[in-house]
């Protein structure tokens, strides 16, 4: 929801890459562009098999009928596989596979947290499983660039996508640390086990409020043969 992604080719190093070009309304925000550049630099320093590599980031310009606009971009490793979001949508996931996927996410987070980088937007749409079964987490830092240049939970959720995976402190607009990523990973595990997120509502703000004030139904009460 924040960018268009293209398949590209790095002619210097001779490899296929993914190029993410940020949405114009975000690109026109100077605060966002500055934060995005800083976060891309932090992400580029992380090298772990469970994290999609960031090779480069920069800013181009695009000219159209309405004038010239900045176009911030990020160049990443091209991953062949499926989004965890699509794997969940295809049907029930076994407990064994659910644990394996979450183990991969936690491996990425262990590495990033040691490097001082908090993801802030762990959800199935930001996790890929390669054709060989390797879990890869992507978009480190982009959520911070968004939330640091957005003033409200409603604004942030409309850009990032969904409040279903927000930690209570994110929902309340408070400062966020590594624990928020672990909470969001717990929500992903819940969804892998049950096929649904623990909280649902008519609006992002309504869902965010449930994270703060309610306790989810145990997965073993949602799925009959789920081990407690």
For 2-29, write each residue's pLDDT tens digit. Answer: 788 999 999 999 999 999 888 887 788 7
pLDDT at residue 6, as a whole number: 95
pLDDT at residue 173, as a whole number: 80
pLDDT digits (tens, 9 = 90+) for 217-226: 999 999 988 8
Cα torsion 174, 176, 182, 185: sign: positive
Average pLDDT over residues 104-125: 93
Separation between Cα atoms, residue 213 and residue 196, nearest integer Å:
19
Residues marked as catalytic: 121
Q: Give Cβ neighbours of residue 195 (< 8 Å, ≥ 6 apart).
A: 88, 91, 92, 223
pLDDT digits (tens, 9 = 90+) for 199-213: 888 877 788 888 888
pLDDT digits (tens, 9 = 90+) for 53-100: 999 988 888 888 888 888 889 999 999 999 999 999 998 899 999 999
Tell me the average pLDDT of the chain.
Answer: 87
Evaluate if residue 154 carries a pLDDT over 70: no
CA dihedral 140→145→148→150, nearest 10 degrees, is -120
């Amino acid at each position: 929801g924040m960018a268009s992604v293209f398949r590209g080719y790095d002619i210097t190093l001779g490899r296929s890459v993914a190029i993410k070009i940020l949405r114009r309304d975000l690109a026109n925000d100077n605060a966002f562009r500055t934060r995005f550049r800083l976060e891309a630099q932090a992400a580029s320093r992380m090298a772990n098999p469970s994290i999609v590599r960031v090779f480069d980031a920069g800013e181009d310009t695009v000219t159209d009928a309405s004038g010239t606009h900045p176009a911030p971009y990020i160049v990443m490793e091209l991953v062949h596989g499926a989004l965890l979001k699509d794997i969940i949508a295809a049907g029930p996931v076994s407990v064994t596979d659910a644990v394996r996927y979450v183990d991969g996410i936690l491996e990425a987070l262990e590495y990033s947290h040691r490097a001082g980088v908090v993801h802030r937007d762990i959800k199935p749409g930001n996790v890929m499983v390669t054709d060989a079964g390797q879990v890869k987490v992507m978009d480190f830092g982009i959520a911070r660039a968004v939330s640091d240049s957005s003033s409200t939970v409603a604004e942030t959720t409309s850009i990032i996508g969904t409040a279903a995976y927000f930690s209570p402190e994110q929902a309340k607009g408070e400062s966020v640390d590594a624990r928020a990523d672990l909470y969001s990973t717990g929500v992903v595990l819940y969804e892998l086990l049950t096929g649904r997120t623990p909280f649902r509502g008519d609006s992002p703000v309504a869902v965010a409020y449930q994270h703060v004030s309610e306790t989810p139904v145990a997965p073993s009460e949602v799925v009959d043969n789920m081990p407690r």
